[in-house]
Structure 1
Amino acid sequence: MAHFAPPGPLGFGGAPLGNMFDVVDEATAEGALVAAWESGVRFFDTAPHYGSGLSEHRFGAALRAYPRDAFVLSTKVGRLLKGDPSHPDNPPFIDGLPFRIEPDYGYDATMRSIEDSYQRLGLAQIDIAFVHDLAADHLGDAWDEQFAIARTGAFKALTELREQGVIKGWGLGVNLTEPCIRALEQSDPDVFLLAGRYSLLNQPALDRLFPMCAERGVHVVVGGPYNSGLLAGGRNYDYQDAPADMIAKRDRIATICEAHGADIRSAALQFCAAHPVVAAIIPGAKKKERVEENARLMAATVPPAVWQELKAAGLIPDGAPVPA
């Protein structure tokens, strides 16, 4: 069975426009979204969590300028926003909107979350709903308990909405492969948003999750193809300071790319997109210049010798698909 999947290979991820790590002004945020559209991007992903609603507001304001049937939009459920004039902290987002985040994976909360997102976006159609961070740190040891709540709550609600035609598909938006595997075993998702678990540096999704997805006709959106910036020249990996072994691995990959006149950032994006189950990748970007650069990097030539050497050096698995 083939499930609904967003268009790719390049999409636009909305976390940076929720003031992730840095404040982004309205004009810059709009410019980034317009640049994405003009670069051919037709898949946009956001979430209530990003800036306590700020990212959704910005996405809706920009995307309302375009025909609604010309793009695919995803947002997330699992975290309700409750008004709080004290502007509570919502790290890693800075200076977001005055709302408090309340995790809730229940049925009623999921239905409420979709309705709230309509209001923030100013759009009457959400194509994909991801259950957000079902294995995140805020759950602690309650992971199994919360998954059970989601299975009879959020999963049930989103399946009903899909059957009614309200949404076209649903899945999980997570940083771990395990909840995706369990969702495949216990429910009928369409697509996963998996951040940081399939990249040039790290491929835990390759051995079990991706084959299960291929068997079920489920697709994957890859978030974090630069691994929090390490593959784009930064020093962060998995949302924190990069460990020495990952910096060394990044440097070895970069040396091979440079020897063949290739940009490691092109290799990072194109490697993620090459797997057959991957429908789209969503590198983060705050400014139009970075959006345009990602589009150029996605289209740039990476010689076949790069992939051959990376495999020969054991830097990527022999079984990993690479661009033809």
Structure 2
Amino acid sequence: MFASVDGGQARATIDAAWDLGVRLYDTAPVYGYGRSETRTGLALGPRPRDEYVLCTKVGRLIEPDGPDTQSIWADPPSGVGPRLDYRYPAVIRSVEQSLERLGLDRVDVLHVHDPDQDYPTALAEAYRALADLRNAGVIRAVSLGVNHADVAARFIREAPAPGPDCVLLAGRYTMLDQSGLADLLPLCRQREIAVMAAGVFQSGLLAEPRTGAAYGYSRVPDALLSRVRALRDLCHRYDVPPLAAAIQFAFGHPAVATVVVGARKPHEVDESSALLAYPIPPELWRGMKDTGLLPEDVPTPSGDS
């Protein structure tokens, strides 16, 4: 995303994650228009298949001259692009194509990717296709990959039983955005649906406050920038790297099973591992609530709520 990565670097990054004990890997057909799946398969193919969990997504077919392109992918393969399609046959075809790119015989978790793009079809057909694959033992879990917590909550309530097993929620349960807490996370906890919290760095905004494009804005609003700087200042006061707090924050909620972060270089995997293990005093979370940077009722890793 945004910057080109060569195949050797991609392989070294996954190797670094494996060596650190990472055993869950998330990819998608649209990531690099098939390139992410191909590289993921090359790196994981030699590994014992039962020792890791592999997630990919459905909702976009990669095909010649696919029209639904995105500008965020650097140096995509020429002549191909994504096409949105949540219909049952397209989902089955998408899974077949993913397995071919991965060079593997199965995936463990399938996300319906961005179901808000065509919600009625995603609910009626894509979910049914994934549920049939789950019933047949082809996949282990049905999931959603979403950027909007309200969409996921609606989908969970409207999907036929037994419903999704997990949800990949991007950017909606973070130190800056707790919109997932209003409905989705309590619903997931009630129904024992595992939440994968992604986008915890908020498009890099927590790493480096700036006025350029981030967090879905062409220009970050001044009020949001002020909040980011206050969060960072408070972290520094307790000698905690802001990104350590960002990674660990989501684990305070009992519905969150894992935090998903990206990396394009091996040292970034090493850094994320160190941030996850960094000791954070309970006083930091208490300070965030006392200063209004976090709502009082947000659960934190210390157990404070």
- Tell me, yes or no, whether TM beats 0.5: yes
Tell me, in whole angstroms, the C-alpha distance in 1 between the residues paired with 2:68 and 2:164.
33
Aligned to 1:243: 221
Counterpart code for 1:191: C
Give runs of aligned pairs for residues 13-32 of structure 1, distance below 5 A. 20-32=1-13
1:63 paired to 2:41: no
Which consecutive unaligned segments of at least 5 residues does structure 2 have?
A: none
Counterpart code for 2:282: P
Residue of structure 2 aligned with 1:94, choices 70, 74, 78 = 74
Aligned to 2:112: 131
Tell me, in whole angstroms, the C-alpha distance in 1 between the residues paired with 2:82 and 2:68.
9
On the 8 A contact 1:87/1:97 being kept in 2, the answer is no
On the 8 A contact 2:150/2:183 being kept in 1, the answer is no
Q: Once the 2 structures are TM-superposed, how far is the Cα of residue 180 of structure 1 from its aligned partner?
A: 0.6
Aligned to 2:147: 175
Counterpart code for 1:97: P
Tell me, in whole angstroms, the C-alpha distance in 1 between the residues paired with 2:15 and 2:298.
34
Q: Once the 2 structures are TM-superposed, how far is the Cα of residue 261 of structure 1 from its aligned partner?
A: 1.0
Residue of structure 2 aligned with 1:78, choices 46, 52, 59 = 59
**Cα deviation 1:130-182 (Å, max 9, x = unaligned):** 011122xxx4xxxxxx2111122100010011111111111210110122111
- Secondary structure of 1:205's aligned partner: helix
- Secondary structure of 2:145's aligned partner: strand
Tell me, in whole angstroms, the C-alpha distance in 1 between the residues paired with 2:216 and 2:61.
23
Decide whether aligned partners of structure 1 residues 219 and 87 sit closer, same or farther in structure 2, where only a CA change above 3 A counts: closer
Decide whether aligned partners of structure 1 residues 94 and 88 sit closer, same or farther in structure 2, where only a CA change above 3 A counts: farther
1:203 paired to 2:183: no
On the 8 A contact 1:198/1:225 being kept in 2, the answer is yes
Tell me, in whole angstroms, the C-alpha distance in 2 between the residues paired with 1:101 and 1:185.
29
Counterpart code for 2:33: S
Aligned to 1:257: 235
Aligned to 1:11: none
Decide whether aligned partners of structure 1 residues 234 and 288 sit closer, same or farther in structure 2, where only a CA change above 3 A counts: farther
Residue of structure 1 aligned with 2:132, choices 147, 156, 160 = 160
On the 8 A contact 1:52/1:101 being kept in 2, the answer is yes
On the 8 A contact 2:68/2:84 being kept in 1, the answer is no
On the 8 A contact 1:230/1:242 being kept in 2, the answer is no
Decide whether aligned partners of structure 1 residues 163 and 174 sit closer, same or farther in structure 2, where only a CA change above 3 A counts: same
Aligned to 1:224: 199
Residue of structure 2 aligned with 1:149, choices 121, 125, 129 = 121
Q: Once the 2 structures are TM-superposed, how far is the Cα of residue 239 of structure 1 from its aligned partner?
A: 4.1
Counterpart code for 1:160: D
Counterpart code for 1:286: R
With structure 1 as the length reference, what TM-score do the two structures score?
0.88
Decide whether aligned partners of structure 1 residues 311 and 233 sit closer, same or farther in structure 2, where only a CA change above 3 A counts: same
Tell me, in whole angstroms, the C-alpha distance in 1 between the residues paired with 2:153 and 2:50.
31
Decide whether aligned partners of structure 1 residues 101 and 74 sit closer, same or farther in structure 2, where only a CA change above 3 A counts: same
Which fold has the larger relative contact order, with Cα–Cα distance below 8 Å and residues 6 or more apart in sequence?
A: 1
Which consecutive unaligned segments of at least 5 residues does structure 1 have?
A: 1-19, 140-145
On the 8 A contact 1:177/1:205 being kept in 2, the answer is yes
Aligned to 2:268: 290
On the 8 A contact 2:11/2:39 being kept in 1, the answer is yes
Tell me, in whole angstroms, the C-alpha distance in 2 between the residues paired with 1:269 and 1:296.
10
1:305 paired to 2:283: yes
Q: Once the 2 structures are TM-superposed, how far is the Cα of residue 259 of structure 1 from its aligned partner?
A: 0.9
Tell me, in whole angstroms, the C-alpha distance in 2 between the residues paired with 1:163 and 1:87.
33
Counterpart code for 1:41: V
Tell me, in whole angstroms, the C-alpha distance in 1 between the residues paired with 2:206 and 2:294.
14
Tell me, in whole angstroms, the C-alpha distance in 2 between the residues paired with 1:26 and 1:161.
31
On the 8 A contact 1:237/1:243 being kept in 2, the answer is no
Residue of structure 1 aligned with 2:248, choices 263, 270, 273 = 270
- Over the matched positions of the two proteins, sequence identity in percent amounts to 39
Tell me, in whole angstroms, the C-alpha distance in 2 between the residues paired with 1:231 and 1:110.
36
1:119 paired to 2:100: yes
**Cα deviation 1:46-65 (Å, max 9, x = unaligned):** 00000100000010000112
- Count the aligned residue pairs: 295
Aligned to 1:44: 25
Decide whether aligned partners of structure 1 residues 61 and 154 sit closer, same or farther in structure 2, where only a CA change above 3 A counts: same
Tell me, in whole angstroms, the C-alpha distance in 2 between the residues paired with 1:223 and 1:191.
13
Counterpart code for 2:197: V
Tell me, in whole angstroms, the C-alpha distance in 2 between the residues paired with 1:217 and 1:264.
30
Decide whether aligned partners of structure 1 residues 234 and 292 sit closer, same or farther in structure 2, where only a CA change above 3 A counts: farther
